[in-house]
């Protein structure tokens, strides 16, 4: 007898709720990461119900997983990196189900990982980064409005610390030790790390906080707020940056994450140790950080020595 669609969906809903709770409470993944995982599982669940013989997630086989990727490539033109990410999400989900006793075998075990070439991270040159920070600094001169002061502090912090934008928008004053220029941040998986930031970021943050306390004395805990006094979101930061890039006519596709790539790139160009950069970025594996070592460091070092604005500033101040 064929199962009705509603009876097929019931196990899916139950197991997805259990898995969501696991990702949120035990793995302590961010809401964005949790939604990305569940989106893949919901796509796969929908695919299983459109097959000639409908199944739920607990009934999936290796052939179903393989067929899912054939479908995605043929019907949606899914790129290889997206295929790898989806397979990883499915593999992790079914590993969880097997450990909890929901299934006897992982249907992803017989599926080959799609091989991809590693792309070098997109980053800004030092002169491009200096152009953005100088522009923001000029707009944050005496008499500047709230948004200009916030933007100067926000992007100086992003560049000088290498934090993820999702980490920055969650920061509160309690995370900062301004005397030692250190910030404590909770990253992926709820792991805490302490990261330094530069003097320029410290000065801009303190100036911004003065105006913030006047404008929003009863505001939320988060440091970075929008002009309505609500916590700034990752999407909000992205929109602000898009406006800055347009104003400066920078042709590269610049996202907040490019600031993180640029932080790592410029540090290593200055001959920083790889493990120090790994710790600052919060990478659990050194191999993740090593992608930055594929760049032409000698050329970057020469650019760094001759054009880095912070290097010049130190010499002038001396």
Active-site hit among 188, 193, 238, 301: 188
> Is 164 a known active-site residue?
yes
Active-site hit among 164, 204, 266, 308: 164
> Is 283 a known active-site residue?
yes
Active-site hit among 73, 95, 181, 257: 257
Active-site hit among 150, 202, 283, 308: 283
Contact 48, 56 (CB under 8 A): yes
Active-site hit among 208, 292, 304, 308: 292
> Is 100 a known active-site residue?
no
Active-site hit among 150, 204, 260, 308: 260
> Is 188 a known active-site residue?
yes
Spell 166-194 as b/e; 16+ CB within 10 A means b: bbbbbbeeebbeeeebebebbbbeeeeee
> Is 261 a known active-site residue?
no
Contact 83, 72 (CB under 8 A): yes
For 237-267, the three-class secondary structure string (H helix, E strand, C coil) is: HHHHHHHHHHHHCCCCCCCHHHHHHHHHHHH
Kindly state the helix (H) or strand (E) to which residue 93 belongs, with its residue range.
Answer: helix 80-99
The interaxial angle of helices 297-307 and 309-317, nearest 10 deg, is 40
Q: Which of 49, 75, 78, 42 has its CA nearest to residue 64?
A: 49
> Is 292 a known active-site residue?
yes
> DSSP code of 229?
S
| Catalytic sites, residue numbers | 164, 188, 257, 260, 283, 292
């Amino acid at each position: 007898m064929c199962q009705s669609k509603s009876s097929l969906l019931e196990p899916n809903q139950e197991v997805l709720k259990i898995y969501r709770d696991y990702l949120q409470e035990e793995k302590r993944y961010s809401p964005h990461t949790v939604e990305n995982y569940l989106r893949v599982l919901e796509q796969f669940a929908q695919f299983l119900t459109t097959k000639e013989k409908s199944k739920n997630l607990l009934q999936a086989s290796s052939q179903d997983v393989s067929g899912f990727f054939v479908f995605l490539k043929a019907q949606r033109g899914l790129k290889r990196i997206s295929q790898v990410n989806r397979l990883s999400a499915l593999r992790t989900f079914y590993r969880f189900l097997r450990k909890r006793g929901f299934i006897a075998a992982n249907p992803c075990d017989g599926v080959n990982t799609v091989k991809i070439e590693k792309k070098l991270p997109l980053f800004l040159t030092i002169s491009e980064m200096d152009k953005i920070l100088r522009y923001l600094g000029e707009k944050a001169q005496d008499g500047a409005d709230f948004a200009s002061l916030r933007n100067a502090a926000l992007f100086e912090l992003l560049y000088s610390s290498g934090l993820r934008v999702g980490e920055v928008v969650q920061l509160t004053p309690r995370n900062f030790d301004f005397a030692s220029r250190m910030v404590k941040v909770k990253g992926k998986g709820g792991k805490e790390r302490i990261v330094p930031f530069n003097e320029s970021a410290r000065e801009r943050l303190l100036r911004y906080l003065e105006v913030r306390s006047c404008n929003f004395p009863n505001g939320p805990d988060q440091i970075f707020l929008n002009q309505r006094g609500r916590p700034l979101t990752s999407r909000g930061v992205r929109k602000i940056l898009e406006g800055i890039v347009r104003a400066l006519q920078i042709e590269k596709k610049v996202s907040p994450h490019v600031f993180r790539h640029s932080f790592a790139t410029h540090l290593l160009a200055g001959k920083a140790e790889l493990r120090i950069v790994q710790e600052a970025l919060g990478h659990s594996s050194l191999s993740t950080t090593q992608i930055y070592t594929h760049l032409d460091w000698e050329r970057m070092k020469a650019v760094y020595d001759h054009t880095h604005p912070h290097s010049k500033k130190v010499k002038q101040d001396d």
